A = this chain, B = another copy of it.
Amino acid sequence: MTYDYILLDFKSHIPLYQQLYLAVKSAIEEGHLAKGDKLPSIRKLSNDLNLSCTTVEAAYQQLCVEGYVAARPQRGYFVLAALKSGSERQKPLLAGLKSAAIAPIRYNFGSDCVDSENIDIKIWRRHIRDVLNRQDVIASYGTPQGEPELREALAAYSYGVRGVVAAPEQIVVGAGTQPLLSILCGLLNGMDQRVALEEPGFLQAEQIFSDYKMEVLRLPVDENGIQMDALRASGAKLVFVSPSNRVQTGASIPMSRRFELLEWARETGGILIEDDYNGELRYNARPIPAMQGMGRGENVVYLGSFSKLLLPSVRIGYMVLPPVLLERYRPRARRYNQTASKVEQLALSRYVTEGQLERHLRRLRKLYDAKSTALTEALKAAFGGTVSLTLQETLLSLILTVHTKGTEKTSAELCALAAQNGVRIMPTESTGAPKVMLGFAGIPPEDIEPAVHCLKDAWQLV
């Protein structure tokens, strides 16, 4: 530990050794130094604080005499007091903050992990290692807009897999969707500050919009997505959509509505924010290209990410700006520091250009196709007509609606019952029959059947 927290007043009437003694004593009393901690050697501390060795020795001796520390021959000075870390003052603050204990999970249908068996981890490690060997790279800051070689790679990749029409200069890299939305909200200053989303909204994006004091409008939907009449009537100039996976249903917005939205944007000068989360992870339905490309890059801000494609721990996303916003971005580009790790950006760039991401994507499509089929069949076999199932393809999850008469349970209750039996599933808001969500990205294929049996035991619906 460095002892810079020790504040000595060289003009004070209190002798320096005593000031030092008091500072260390209070650090021990407040728990910042714990039992067994080694104090710096007398020589080291006198050097650091610009004190004579005699002064430090005098302070240490007093601490020894009073029992706060003990000297061990040849080894140095050690703290004897046994207070826990964290000062008294902080304890009331912390008392309410401990997170609740979590029951042991046997089968995890959460949406926050991926099946670690199916990760190209060896290749990824190699790329990271290679980048770490480039001294020039790691000893300098990243490019604010994102590493040029990554933007180059993403321009080609996003066209290939999603039909996105983007020059590298239009691409802004960031540590996920939220930091990118933050930059976007800054660019939208001075424009209309209302943003429309489909009911029931999307919390992670709405949080950013409302932090930027924008007005969030949740508009009613029909079976194809946001109602065009409601959108026109709202007067909003900005729409946030997830055409590949609508938040509630997981269904994608059909071509007809996409064209209507693009036409609305062209007519009104509006901007569509297209969140294409996992848009490339199609394995069941035929892929529909991104709206950005359908609109030839005009009027659309495209958002792409990799957390489920690659590794959830890697925080890299990208945003493609249409010309109208690119003009606003250019003069400010250097004012926004890059948020994504430079090393990970360069590793990803290699991973993309060497074709490994696309190979991995093909593998994932097969894997998730097999898993979603296995889960659907296991659930049908276990519950029969008492449940109905909706695949949220790119969200890698199934929505399970429970139809039981008489003994109705809420979504939260169904999840709690499951949790008691070691099965982690997610509640979802809905009107009518209760729905729960089962994500299958993280569960190994061989666990699917036993997990469903566990769920059946937990619920005992029949």
Contacts and interface: CB of A to CB of B under 8 A. Distances in A.
A43 interface: no
- How many copies altogether? 2
Contacts of A294: 7
A82 interface: no
Contacts of A142: 313, 315
A138 B179 contact: no
A410 interface: no
A391 interface: no
B339 A176 contact: yes
A208 B135 CA distance: 31
B2 A97 contact: no
B5 A169 contact: no
B138 A311 contact: yes
Contacts of A175: 175, 179, 315, 339-341
Contacts of A141: 112-113, 307, 312-313
A87 interface: yes
B139 A5 contact: no
B335 A162 contact: no
A342 B313 contact: yes
B335 A203 contact: yes
A17 to B, nearest CB: 17
Interface in A1-17: 1-5, 7
Nearest to A91: B167
Contacts of A374: none
A116 B136 contact: yes
A248 interface: no
A252 interface: no
A116 B139 contact: yes
A339 B315 contact: yes
A40 to B, nearest CB: 10
Interface in A99-137: 112-116, 119, 121, 124-125, 128-129, 132, 135-137
A50 interface: yes
A199 interface: no
A344 interface: yes
A280 interface: yes
A182 B178 CA distance: 10
A74 interface: no
A404 B249 CA distance: 72
Nearest to A339: B175
21 contacts: A1-B156, A4-B161, A4-B282, A4-B287, A5-B160, A7-B288, A7-B289, A87-B165, A89-B297, A113-B140, A121-B132, A140-B313, A141-B307, A176-B339, A182-B211, A185-B211, A204-B335, A211-B212, A315-B337, A315-B339, A341-B344
Interface of A: 1-5, 7, 32, 49-50, 85-87, 89-90, 93-94, 97, 112-116, 119, 121, 124-125, 128-129, 132, 135-142, 155-156, 159-163, 165, 167, 169-170, 175-179, 182, 185-186, 189, 203-204, 207-208, 210-213, 280, 282, 286-289, 293-294, 296-297, 307, 311-315, 323, 326, 330, 332, 335-344, 358, 361-362, 442
